[in-house]
Amino acid sequence: MLVIGVESSCDETAVALYDSEQGLVGHLVHSQIDLHAAYGGVVPELASRDHIQRLIPLLRQLLNDSGHTLSQIGGVAYTSGPGLAGALLTGAVYARALAWALEVPALAVHHMEGHLLAPMLESNTPQPPFVCLLVSGGHSQLIRVDAIGAYTFLGDTLDDAAGEAFDKTAKVLGLPYPGGPHLSRLAENGDATAFDLPRPMTDRAGLDFSFSGLKTAVMTTWNRLSQQPMSDAELDKLRADLAASFQAAIVDTLRIKCERALRQEGLDCLVISGGVSANRHLRTSFDEHFSNTTISAGSTGGASTVDVVYPSLEFCTDNAAMIALVGSLRLTAGEQSGSDITVRPRWPLSELCCPGANA
């Protein structure tokens, strides 16, 4: 079955074609970063206005590039949550109406399940059970995956998501929008040991995160030190050192909680997905640490090192390939969504069922 995927939950418009037999045929992403830059953040109404101008041109281009026609389409999958209500609705109504008119089944997809299963777009497919860390601008969640659709929440952020903390801290340091990637680049030139920032909530039991205090710690330090007389070069160094120290604190915190989750669950496979999983320091740090970490996993009780799996960079950030993939898995299991279109800006992942359970 050839499945169209449509993603419009935030500031990326994306379409994809996924073949249930052959895998991903192609995908395209239009990022709205430039549109929102002048506003210092995503303006939901502008995001929706842009989505509706991009959806058809992107799909036409994808069909053209891949040599396919709409008559070959067997299903349409679209993100119906979580995300910005207006942005979601634009893509959902378009995609559901497209499926309705093509007279093919449609499926409303959970955006985070897309991120969670994104590694399956490639050959390094992890086998459940595993622990997944979902880290993006909107989420910082630890999830136990026993099967596709069988998700147990292990931990969540109590305030800011990790990516949000990156963006807000970048703003504190005067970096342009979107701050996260700018901050990471700056951190490469900084000394991560220059400032001893907290590793929030690692000194107590549990798998929840809290990152807003870390952002405040950076702000306090920055406001105190940047007021002192210093040369431009010294100010640049201060900024880079703070960025590096902040990034190290976030990554350490995420890594400590991931290890705690693996030990608690007795699992030796960790999947990291979502926009923040593209962070280079995160990947280096996790790889170094977990290649030397053994966990007692499985019924045999034998100790093994931890497999850490990331999607490739293009599938870390928002895309429609992951939506088409989930759509394909669930549509071929007989699931479909009705023609009464609803979006769910808030939608707990734990409400999902295994593919076909609701068919």
Partner 1 sequence: MNILALETATDNCSVAVAAGNDWRMENSCEPRAQSQVLLPTIDRLLADTGLSKSQLDGVAFGCGPGSFTGLRVAAAATQGIALALDVPVVGVSTLAAVAHQQFRTRNIHLCIAALDARMSEVYWGVYQTLQAGSTQLIAEEAVAAPDTVLWPDVIDDNNSSDVALAGSGSDMLLHLTGSDQRSVVVDAGVLPEALDTLALALPVFERGEAQPAEEARPVYLRNKVALTEQERAAKRDAGTVKP
The span from the CA of 234 to the CA of 285, in Å, is 27
Min dist CB 103 to partner 1, Å, is 7
Q: Which stretch binds partner 1 (CB under 8 A): 39-47, 110-118, 215-223, 348-356?
A: 39-47
Closest Cα to residue 218, out of 199, 191, 246, 240?
246
150-155 and 140-147 strand pairing: antiparallel
CB of 12 closer than 8 Å to CB of 31: yes
- Determine which residue in the list 49, 281, 283, 289 makes contact with partner 1, applying CB under 8 A: 49
150-155: strand order across its sheet: 150-155, 140-147, 130-135, 269-273, 307-309
Min dist CB 355 to partner 1, Å, is 24
> Across-strand partners of 143?
132, 153
Closest Cα to residue 251, out of 341, 150, 180, 305?
180
Min dist CB 63 to partner 1, Å, is 10
Question: What binding mask, one character per residue, do residues 63-102 give for partner 1 by CB under 8 A, x or -?
Answer: -------x--------------xx--xxxxxxxxxxxxxx
The span from the CA of 180 to the CA of 275, in Å, is 10
What is the total residue count of the chain? 359
Cis amide bond preceding 355, omega within 30? no
Asked whether position 341 contacts partner 1 by CB under 8 A, the answer is yes
Q: Which stretch binds partner 1 (CB under 8 A): 132-140, 194-202, 261-269, 340-348?
A: 340-348
Residue closer to partner 1, measured from CB, 13 or 319: 13
Asked whether position 14 contacts partner 1 by CB under 8 A, the answer is no
Residue closer to partner 1, measured from CB, 42 or 121: 42
Residue closer to partner 1, measured from CB, 167 or 268: 167
Q: Which stretch binds partner 1 (CB under 8 A): 11-19, 20-28, 38-46, 179-187?
A: 38-46
Asked whether position 205 contacts partner 1 by CB under 8 A, the answer is no
Min dist CB 133 to partner 1, Å, is 32
Asked whether position 43 contacts partner 1 by CB under 8 A, the answer is yes
**Where in 288-307 is the site for partner 1 (CB under 8 A)?**
none
Asked whether position 56 contacts partner 1 by CB under 8 A, the answer is yes
The span from the CA of 296 to the CA of 304, in Å, is 6
Q: Which stretch binds partner 1 (CB under 8 A): 160-168, 210-218, 315-323, 339-347?
A: 339-347
Asked whether position 347 contacts partner 1 by CB under 8 A, the answer is no
Min dist CB 122 to partner 1, Å, is 30
Asked whether position 34 contacts partner 1 by CB under 8 A, the answer is no
CB of 142 closer than 8 Å to CB of 129: no
* 153: CB partners within 8 A, 6+ apart: 141, 142, 143, 144, 348, 349, 350
- Determine which residue in the list 15, 59, 142, 306 makes contact with partner 1, applying CB under 8 A: 59
Asked whether position 239 contacts partner 1 by CB under 8 A, the answer is no
- Token look-up 């734990």 returns 350
307-309 and 269-273 strand pairing: parallel
Min dist CB 76 to partner 1, Å, is 9
Q: With contacts defined by CB under 8 A, how many residues of the chain interact with partner 1?
A: 38
Q: Is 40 left (phi over 0), alpha (psi -120 to 50) or beta?
A: left
The span from the CA of 265 to the CA of 271, in Å, is 14
Min dist CB 182 to partner 1, Å, is 15
* 37: CB partners within 8 A, 6+ apart: 176, 177, 178
Asked whether position 223 contacts partner 1 by CB under 8 A, the answer is no
- Determine which residue in the list 19, 26, 46, 345 makes contact with partner 1, applying CB under 8 A: 46
Asked whether position 172 contacts partner 1 by CB under 8 A, the answer is no
Which residues of the chain form contacts with partner 1 (CB under 8 A)? 38-40, 43, 45-46, 48-49, 52-53, 55-57, 59-60, 70, 85-86, 89-103, 339-343
